[in-house]
Amino acid sequence: MLWKALFILVAWQHCCHGETLTMKLLQHWDTNWEGQFTVPLQSNVLGWELKINFSVPVSGIQQWDGEWLVKDPKGKYFVLLNKVDKGYHAAGTTLKIRMMGKFSGSTPPTATAEFTDLTGDTQTVPPVHIPSGQQHTDYNYEEVLVKSLLFYEAQRSGKLPANNRIPWRGDSALGDQGANGEDLTGGYYDAGDHVKFNFPMAYTTTMLAWGYLEWKDAYTQSGQHQQILDAIKWPLDYLLKCHVAPHELYVQVGDGGQDHGFWGRPEDMKMPRPAFKITESKPGSDVAGETAAAMAAGSLVFKHINATYANILLTHAKQLYEFATQFKGKYSDSVSAAAGFYRSGDYQDELGWAGAWLYEATGENTYLADAEANRVSGAGWGDSWDDKTTYTNVLLYKLTKKDIYKTDVEATFTDWMPGGTLEYTPGGMAYRLQWGTLRYTVNMGLAAMMAADAGLHAKQYRCWALSQIKYALGDNPAHHSYVVGFGANAPARPHHRSSSCPSMPAPCGWDEQKNPGPNPHTLYGALVGGPGKSDDYKDDRNDYVKNEVACDYNAAWQSAIAGVIHLALQQKLPTDCS
C-alpha cells in the first residue's frame, strides 16, 4: 500500500460563499484513494454544500457527512449536501469531510471544491417611509408596521406569489385538501409550527381588517396599503375554500401531534395532513361565528376595491352566521384534534361579535338585535382568539352609543389599569397569563385605543395603551425589544421552525432546534410571547412559553401600531402621560 500526502487546503479566513478548498489526499493504493476537505469555522454553521471538481474520473465514492445532489456520469463533478444530522458545527471548530473511492488511470485524483455555508440570510427589509408632518414619536412605528407585515408573509402556506419577499420561504403544503378532494391550500401557518388552525386564523383576519378600517391612513401614509390588503386577503381566500357548503366548514388542516414531532421547514413536510370540519351534527358556533366576522369585516375592506369579491365574502359570512346560530356547539367538542391546542371556552361571545360585524356590513337591524342579545356582559377578562367580550362591547358602543356597553368597557379597563385587579410586573406590564403575556396586554391595548376613538376617556385609554406598546418595544427594565428584528436586544431565537433552518436546499432537523446561536433567518416583525411576571426573559428557542410567535399574537399588535401612527398623523398622540 502506498501512502502519499498532498498539500493542505488553501488558507480559509471565514466560511462564506465561493471560497475554494483543496482536497488533501490521505492515501492511495492500486486504483483506490482517500481524501479530506477541511474547513475551519469562524461562525456557527447550520447547513453546507460542497461542489467538487476532480482532476480525473472517480467512482464509487463513500462518505459519511452528506447526500449527493449531483453525481456526474463522467465522474469529475459532484455536489454534496450535508445530512440532516451533520449540518450544525459550532464556531471555532473544524469541519472535516472525508471520502474515498476509485480512480481511473495511473494518477490519483486531486480536487478543488467550493464550500458554501447555507446558514446565512439574504432577506432585505424594504425602506421605511415616515410621512412628512407627522407628530414626532419616540419609536419608529412605521418600521414596526412594515416588519409585522413581513411576519405574515413568512407564515404563508400554499403557492407563493411572484412578489414573495421572504427568500427563505417557498411553495408548501400544495396537497392540502378536504375529505372529498376540496382544495384547502393557502392560509397562514399558525405559529412556529405548520398546522392551519382556522379559529385563531379567522380571529387574526378580523383584527387586521378592524385596524385597517379604523386607521387606513396609517397604511396609506406609511406606504403599506397594498401590503395590508394582501395580508388580509391571503387568509380570506383560504377561508372561502374551507366553506364548502352552507353548513360545512373545514376548521383545521394538519395534525398537531404529528406536526410537533417534526422540526423543519413546511416545504419539507412529508407527514399526513388530515383536514377536519364542522357540520350540522358536529357544530362549531365559535369558529363559524369568527369566520363570519372575518368575512363580514373583509367585505368592508374590499367594498370599494373589489365589489365582486366583497359580495362573495358577505354571502359566505351570512351563511356561516346562520350555521353558527342554528346549530350551536363548541367546535373543540366536535373536532378533538383542535381540543389540545385551541380549546374553545364558549361560543356566545363569537355570536355577538359576528352579529355586530354583520350589522356594520349590512345595516340590517336583525344582526344588531342578535349581537345585543348574544354579547357577553360585564368586565372583560382579556380578549384573544377565544374571547371577544371587550371587543364586542367596544364595537357595539361605537355603533349604538348605549350606556350599557360604555359601562362594561369602563369596568374592563378599571380592572386592567393600574390600581385595578390585574397584577403588574415591576417594569409596568399588565400581567394576565403566563403563556403569551404580551399578547393579552397588547390585545387590550388595541381595545383601549378603539374605545378612545369611540369617545371613551381618550387620553387615559390612549396613554395606557401606549405604555403597554412601549413596554414591548423597549420601555422595560432590561430595555428589551420583544419584536424580532426591531430595536435593541431584540429576540434572535424565536421558537419558529422555518426561520431556524438553514437556507434551502440544506436539510433541517432537531439539531437546528438545539442550535444555541440565533435563527439563521430573521423572522422580522414577530412579537414573541414575552417576559414573566418579574420581567424575566431569556432569548431561548427552547422556551416556547416566552419565545413562541403566532399569527394571533401579531394581529391586535399590528392594528394597535397602525392606531399609534394614525394618532401621530393627526397630531393627537398623547405627550403628557405621566
pLDDT category at 522 given cuts 50, 70, 90 is: very high
Say if residue 382's pLDDT is above 90: yes
pTM above 0.85, yes or no: yes
Domain ranges of the chain: 19-117, 141-569
Helices (H) and strands (E) in the chain, counts: 19, 14
Annotate 39-64 with b (16+ C-beta within 10 A) or e (fewer). bebeebbbbbbbbbbbebebeebebe
pLDDT average, residue stretch 422-435 = 96
The predicted pLDDT at position 3 comes to 27
Say if residue 8's pLDDT is above 50: no
Residue 79: phi and psi, rounded to 5, are -125, 125
The predicted pLDDT at position 18 comes to 54
Structurally, what CATH architecture does the domain formed by 141-569 represent?
Alpha/alpha barrel (1.50)
For residue range 336-354, list pLDDT tens digits in order: 999 999 999 999 999 999 9
pLDDT average, residue stretch 243-255 = 98
For residue range 126-164, list pLDDT tens digits in order: 999 899 899 999 999 999 999 999 999 999 999 999 999
Q: Which of 65, 193, 408, 410 is catalytic?
A: 193
Q: Pull the grid cell for residue 21.
A: 478548498
For residue range 155-173, list pLDDT tens digits in order: 999 999 999 999 999 999 9
Residue 548 falls in the annotated catalytic set = yes
pLDDT category at 5 given cuts 50, 70, 90 is: very low
Say if residue 118's pLDDT is above 60: yes
Distance CA 442, CA 482 (A): 12
Q: Pull the grid cell for residue 508.
A: 433541517
Spatial neighbors of 162 by CB under 8 A, at least 6 apart, are none
Distance CA 512, CA 494 (A): 12
pLDDT category at 120 given cuts 50, 70, 90 is: confident
The predicted pLDDT at position 571 comes to 96
Specify the 3-state DSSP secondary structure of 79.
strand
Residue 333 falls in the annotated catalytic set = no
Structurally, what CATH architecture does the domain formed by 19-117 represent?
Sandwich (2.60)
For residue range 450-463, list pLDDT tens digits in order: 999 999 999 999 99
Say if residue 424's pLDDT is above 50: yes
Say if residue 10's pLDDT is above 60: no
Residue 364 falls in the annotated catalytic set = no
Residues 165/126, Cβ–Cβ less than 8 Å? yes
For residue range 35-88, list pLDDT tens digits in order: 999 999 998 999 999 999 999 999 999 999 999 999 999 999 999 999 999 999
Say if residue 299's pLDDT is above 60: yes
Residues 496/526, Cβ–Cβ less than 8 Å? yes
Q: Which of 495, 496, 521, 566 is catalytic?
A: 495
For residue range 12-45, list pLDDT tens digits in order: 223 344 578 999 999 999 999 999 999 999 989 9
For residue range 536-563, list pLDDT tens digits in order: 999 999 999 999 999 999 999 999 999 9
Residue 495 falls in the annotated catalytic set = yes
The predicted pLDDT at position 2 comes to 27
Percent of the chain exceeding pLDDT 90 equals: 94
Spatial neighbors of 298 by CB under 8 A, at least 6 apart, are 205, 209, 232, 233, 236, 310, 313
Alpha-carbon separation of residue 195 from 134, 290, 332, 364, 436 (angstroms): 40, 18, 15, 36, 19
pLDDT average, residue stretch 307-317 = 98
Q: Which of 176, 535, 539, 552 is catalytic?
A: 539
Alpha-carbon separation of residue 301 from 148, 295, 307, 321 (angstroms): 19, 10, 10, 19
Cell numbers 350589522 correspond to 359
Share the mean pLDDT of the chain: 95
